[in-house]
Amino acid sequence: MLDLLIKNADVISTAPGAVTVRHGHDIAIQGNRIDAVLPTGQIDAGRAKEVIDASEMIAMPGLINAHCHNAMVLFRGAGEDVSIERWFNEVIWPLESNLTAEDVYWGALLGLAEMIEAGVTTVADHYFFMDEVARAVEQAGTRANLGWAVFSAGVERPENKLRETTEFVERWQGGADGRITTWLAPHSPYTCDEAFLRLSADWARKLNVGIHTHVSETREQVQISLTKTGRTPFEVLRDAGVFEVPTIIAHAAHPTDGDIALMARAGAGVAHCPKTFLKLAAGIAPVLKMREAGIPVGIGSDGVVSNNTLDILEQTRLAAMLQKHENRNAEVLTIADALTMACNDGARVLHLPDLGDLAPGKLADLILIRTDSPHMQPVLNVTANVLYSAQAADVDTVICNGKLLMRGRNLLTLDKRQIIAEVRSRMARLQQRIPGQRLQTYEA
Ligand SMILES: [Zn+2]
């Protein structure tokens, strides 16, 4: 007996270097895995407990958000038209200093609801109060790599804070039926000193986990690192031993050729967040060079205060168009490359090899996208329509770990009205400025 049969879809497979479309195929799901993908008619629908008719729909792997600060949805719209320094010092850090664990829980649920509605089934989330985020992920039914962000700059006994995050790693590793993986998340080389980064790497090795961190977001960060230490931020991480464990490098907007070689040798993965770069005028990452070096580059949304949505399809589209524009070459970063980044490469960045493709044996994380609206017609090129024409609202059905999370645009695990009401009720307190409050300051 099969648990679920999806009938008559156009199926996009995003195996590396081989994006294919199979028209009129069925997908059989058994437990949390894909059992078979075969032409319609070859699998007996009578064998399935539940059947979904996916005529006029495209099936593809669930999208992977490789870098996010999910609960920052609470601050959507708060930091517009400001420099990166003002963005941190005048907007983000005052707001974040008011956050409570419960705020983060409701913020995470809001973000997860938005991500499910946009077809995102996995997120690498880097934030605070991560026990609450884990609870939210458990409830939403999605998959997540969770890292509790820590700093050493301006923090008394930061090693104690780090130790608390290692306890979180152990508490939630493999949680929510295996949907949660946990890594360490020292914030960045500009907010963590080298000794702290070394301690983080030592802990990661001991716990057999990776490190998720921000690197070389702006040219100024690289310049200041060179002036202070004689090394690029990547070289500082290398010397601290960070590249001896798996890494998610968020941004990597300004790596040198040496940094790219270093990442390639180390097997590091990059989370590329093009909308954040554009809004904060931070410069565009050399995605083509990094991909040519064999580095997996996934797509991240970053937090919505610099991005405004968690729509990974939108970010993937921007990633493709920006590389074409930057390289003055319309033939680079093809549709196949872009869709691979959003699925398979994202899975490689997160070290989740059972994700990122629709093939027998893979985990059953997939989405169905409707093609019956005017902006999706005609369907001459399935993958072009997905990358360049589809809207998040075209995602009809979302399945993660073999379970339905959304069907016909109805969320099945989350109560959207309750979440929105809870979030709204917290806004006045979160926006209060508390006199004399000690805040983190941003210095590249
Ligand atoms: Zn970030």
b (16+ CB within 10 A) / e for 155-166: beebeebbeebb
DSSP sequence for 107-156: HHHHHHHHHHHTTEEEEEEEES-HHHHHHHHHHHT-EEEEEEEE--TT-S
Domain boundaries, the chain: 4-61+363-411, 63-349
Measured in Å, residue 214 CA sits from the centre of ligand 1 at 6
- In CATH, which of 1.10.3720.10, 3.40.50.300, 3.30.390.50, 3.20.20.140 is domain 63-349? 3.20.20.140
Measured in Å, residue 218 CA sits from the centre of ligand 1 at 12
Measured in Å, residue 15 CA sits from the centre of ligand 1 at 27
pLDDT of residue 84: 80
pLDDT of residue 197: 98
- Does this chain's domain 4-61+363-411 share its CATH topology with 63-349? no
pLDDT of residue 205: 98
Measured in Å, residue 329 CA sits from the centre of ligand 1 at 29
State CA 49 to chain mean position distance. Answer: 32
Measured in Å, residue 138 CA sits from the centre of ligand 1 at 23
pLDDT of residue 385: 98
Measured in Å, residue 126 CA sits from the centre of ligand 1 at 7
DSSP state of 48: B
Could you tell me which residues come within 8 angstroms of residue 367 by beta carbon, excluding any fewer than 6 positions away? 59, 60, 61, 62, 63, 119, 121, 395, 397, 398, 399
Measured in Å, residue 149 CA sits from the centre of ligand 1 at 10
pLDDT of residue 199: 98
Residue-by-residue pLDDT tens, the chain, 444 positions: 899 999 999 999 998 778 999 999 999 999 999 999 999 999 998 999 999 999 999 999 999 999 999 999 999 988 888 888 888 888 888 888 899 999 999 999 999 999 999 999 999 999 999 999 999 999 999 999 999 999 998 888 999 999 999 999 999 999 999 999 999 999 999 999 999 999 999 999 999 999 999 999 999 999 999 999 999 999 999 999 999 999 999 999 999 999 999 999 999 999 999 999 999 888 999 999 999 999 999 999 999 988 999 999 999 999 999 999 999 999 999 999 999 999 999 999 999 999 999 999 999 999 999 999 999 999 999 999 999 999 999 999 999 999 999 999 999 999 999 999 999 999 999 988 766 665 566 665
Which position has the token pair 């090899």?
353
pLDDT of residue 287: 98
Measured in Å, residue 328 CA sits from the centre of ligand 1 at 28
Measured in Å, residue 8 CA sits from the centre of ligand 1 at 39
- In CATH, which of 2.30.40.10, 3.30.450.30, 3.40.50.720, 3.30.300.180 is domain 4-61+363-411? 2.30.40.10
Distance from C-alpha of 180 to C-alpha of 174, rounded to nearest angstrom: 5
Measured in Å, residue 198 CA sits from the centre of ligand 1 at 21
